[in-house]
Structure 1
Amino acid sequence: MERVDVAVIGGGQAGLATADALARLGCAPVILEASDRAVGSWPRYYDSLTLFSPARFSALPGMPFGGDPDRYPHRDEVVAYLTAYAERLQVDIRTGRRVVAVAATGDGFTVELEGGERLAARAVVAATGSFGHPLRPALPGLESFTGRVLHAADYRDPFSFAGQRIVVVGAGDSAVQIAAELARVSRTTLATRAPVKFARQHLLGRDLHFWLTRTGLDAAPLGRLLRTPPTQPVLDDGRYRAALNAGAPDRRPIFLGLEGEKIAWGDGSVETVDALILATGYRPDLPYLAGLDGALDASGRPRHQGGASLAYPGLAFVGLEWQRSLSSNSLRGVGRDAARAAHRLTAYLGRT
């Protein structure tokens, strides 16, 4: 069985940043990426997606995001950036290697890949994000709905929905973006449990991320205090608030139930709906840790403190939402958590 220093599971932004940090500290990480390229889930996001943070705040450590630093990069620009970042790394990146199980051994872990290949790793970094585990809430009557149902993870563009009656469920950034886009070609409602909250994209002539960086709220654990369940405010330059105010899409409280192709609203009305899009978030995608006793809690969430496993000193998590700060699972913030995890693991391995 091949032996490696650190197995980094996932070749997206979290895995790439962690491998870079480990290599700088003298480790020899091996990135295990399930897809055919080390860019994470970015190619699978919807076509019109753009970052909410300007390019100057959207880079991984060691490589600035090229072009106009004040623009908001498109999805495909992020894919190109991550591709270039992976190419410049002096680390072993293995694509087409899906990890199916991790088991503890006396001196580390055994990492089993799809197809039966196994690696022995002294340490493991779980950096697979959450896109592969979309949350599908138990909405009333959802199982009996005969219209089209898809999660935002499966949404690509509005064209196949033209002229239809669509309901988007959710109150976050993706929900509002998708609903506003669909409203240009279809009759679309945004169904939420509470009114949508907005945060201004620009304050005093500066992007919000300038102020988050200047004040330290973007990086410090103190920034966790900004978390306000159940949803975060939608960053907006004014277009989305204006769209909702104009009824394109309209916003309604979450429906009472679904049956067949019908949806029942709280005002007593019932109508036919063609499609339901669930922009209801994600959960950590960590099925390969299910057999690692104590690594996950009963709901499948990682048991950790700031990314350090509470059960195994050689196991780290990187790229979790709110791992240490509000930017932990973003391009602009994951590098900080990656560096912290790398320092901890190299100390565990006796390299520092």
Structure 2
Amino acid sequence: MSTGKAVSSGEVDVAVIGAGQAGLSAAYHLQRRGLAYKVFDAEQGPGGAWRHRWKSLRMATVNGISDLPGIAKPDVDPAEPSSEFLTRYFAGYERELGLEVLRPVKVASVEREDADPDGRLRISTSGGGWSAKALINATGTWTRPFWPIYPGRSTFRGRQLHVADYVSAEEFRGLHVIVVGGGISAVGLLDEISQVTATSWFTRREPEWRDAAFDAQAGHDAVALVEERVRQGLPPQSVVSVTGLIWTPALRAAAARGALERRPMFTAIEPDGVRLTDGSLHRADVILWATGFRAELEHLASLHLRGPGGGIVMDGTQVAAEPRVHLVGYGPSSSTIGANRAGRAAVAAILKLPSLRQQQPNPTEPTQTAGTSG
């Protein structure tokens, strides 16, 4: 069950860092396999990154959220903020399955205890030190917003914020807002903000739009492309970067208002706006950076997992150079659908480790199995 905080230390078979969708999926499969585990979550309560999403992001407009394994989602009210629904869903999931989640516990570092490749890993946390035979890292990206470096950015007299800091469109009423970025968050916020004030949209590349629905085959193909990148040790791209943007009725309405007229990226930022490629000044009061996130992996730095280009060579969810470490919610498993599959795959691979190969009791189903998936 979830606890307020960790007050002790000890040994487990598997440590899981992060209690978002990927982390909870992994915990479900660990519990089902009878492995000793702990989930360390830095948040104050359930919900993962969804706790921090803006209130106007409602269930009708978020990407499809898969059921967590073992318990189906409650009935969804399309008008409910996603932050409220998913926090409630995750909290009920932890409670009904009695998952071992310790919070708020921040993981500071993960180190090898010795030179034995089949040895244990030392996890240093704000609640004490733990030892594990394997690690599933599910920290996601929300805590590491990416801010591009642009000439003159520090001179801008208006307000700059990242999507991670966004609250509502109302705070920008009467101001001219520049939105930078070519992903789902960028176009969604352009739609929202353009209904109350003037906006401009800048991206590095011309966005690609899809008229067709994003079906299972399209999702499979997109995940495969991202998976190939991480297999080669390249920094992962988002799944959206290879699928394109999907036209929805709301976005078609935004396009009709002129809110989705994309401009090529500006050359510099100045005190009163941005300098365009033709040399003219485009005035603005706000720059909203919808420029994505990077994987939160700083606590794994002492394991030296990254290659020269900054990527990590992966074999499925497993770090190729360190089989005891699995990254879920990374690369191809950063989508809501991929997260569930990755949690299951990570546990299946961990059971093949020499230190755990003999420790395989028969799987037992949780008491609540209605609506099972994943």
TM tier relative to shorter chain: 0.7 to 0.9
Q: Tell me the residue number matched to 2:175.
A: 164
Q: Aligned to 2:264, which of 236, 243, 253?
A: 253
> What secondary structure does 1:313 align onto?
strand
CA–CA distance in structure 2, aligned partners of residues 338 and 30 of structure 1: 14
TM-score (norm: length of structure 1): 0.86
CA–CA distance in structure 1, aligned partners of residues 199 and 35 of structure 2: 51
Counterparts of residues 161-310 of structure 1 (less than 5 Å): 161-200=172-211, 208=213, 211-212=215-216, 217=220, 221=224, 232-248=243-259, 250-293=261-304, 295-298=305-308, 300-310=310-320
Are the structure 2 counterparts of residues 216 and 258 from structure 1 closer, same or farther at C-alpha, using a change threshold of 3 Å? closer
TM-superposed deviation, 1:217:
2.3
> What secondary structure does 1:112 align onto?
strand
When the two chains are superposed, the root-mean-square deviation of aligned CA atoms in Å is 2.7
Query: For each residue in 1:218-272, what CA deviation from the matched residue of structure 2 results, as whole angstroms up to 9, or x when unmatched?
Result: 7974786898895642223232133124313543211121122231122333143
Are the structure 2 counterparts of residues 320 and 73 from structure 1 closer, same or farther at C-alpha, using a change threshold of 3 Å? farther
> What secondary structure does 1:276 align onto?
strand
Q: Tell me the residue number matched to 1:101.
A: 109
Are the structure 2 counterparts of residues 34 and 54 from structure 1 closer, same or farther at C-alpha, using a change threshold of 3 Å? closer
Which shows bigger deviation, 258-267 or 176-185?
258-267
Which amino acid in the other structure matches residue 288 of structure 1? H
Counterparts of residues 64-103 of structure 1 (less than 5 Å): 64-67=72-75, 74-75=81-82, 76-103=84-111
Q: Tell me the residue number matched to 1:43.
A: 51
> What secondary structure does 2:342 align onto?
helix
Q: Tell me the residue number matched to 1:335.
A: 340
CA–CA distance in structure 1, aligned partners of residues 39 and 140 of structure 2: 14
CA–CA distance in structure 1, aligned partners of residues 199 and 309 of structure 2: 33
Q: Aligned to 2:69, which of 61, 67, 77?
A: 61
CA contact (8 A) 2:238 2:331 kept: no
> What secondary structure does 2:161 align onto?
strand
Q: Aligned to 1:110, which of 106, 113, 122?
A: 122
CA contact (8 A) 1:130 1:284 kept: yes
> What secondary structure does 2:322 align onto?
coil
CA–CA distance in structure 2, aligned partners of residues 249 and 189 of structure 1: 8
CA contact (8 A) 1:187 1:249 kept: no
TM-superposed deviation, 1:192:
1.2
Residues paired across the two proteins, number: 335
Q: Aligned to 1:21, which of 29, 53, 63?
A: 29
CA–CA distance in structure 1, aligned partners of residues 328 and 66 of structure 2: 17
CA contact (8 A) 2:183 2:240 kept: no
Query: For each residue in 1:40-65, what CA deviation from the matched residue of structure 2 results, as whole angstroms up to 9, or x when unmatched?
Result: 1101112222455776x621111212
CA contact (8 A) 1:165 1:188 kept: yes
CA contact (8 A) 2:201 2:259 kept: no
Return the structure number with greater strand share.
1
Are the structure 2 counterparts of residues 54 and 220 from structure 1 closer, same or farther at C-alpha, using a change threshold of 3 Å? closer
TM-superposed deviation, 1:298:
4.4
CA–CA distance in structure 2, aligned partners of residues 288 and 48 of structure 1: 32
CA–CA distance in structure 2, aligned partners of residues 222 and 259 of structure 1: 38
Which amino acid in the other structure matches residue 198 of structure 2? R
Are the structure 2 counterparts of residues 184 and 222 from structure 1 closer, same or farther at C-alpha, using a change threshold of 3 Å? closer
CA–CA distance in structure 2, aligned partners of residues 191 and 220 of structure 1: 26
Unaligned runs of 5+ in 2: 1-8, 229-236, 361-374
Which amino acid in the other structure matches residue 297 of structure 1? G
CA contact (8 A) 2:222 2:239 kept: no
Percent identical residues: 30
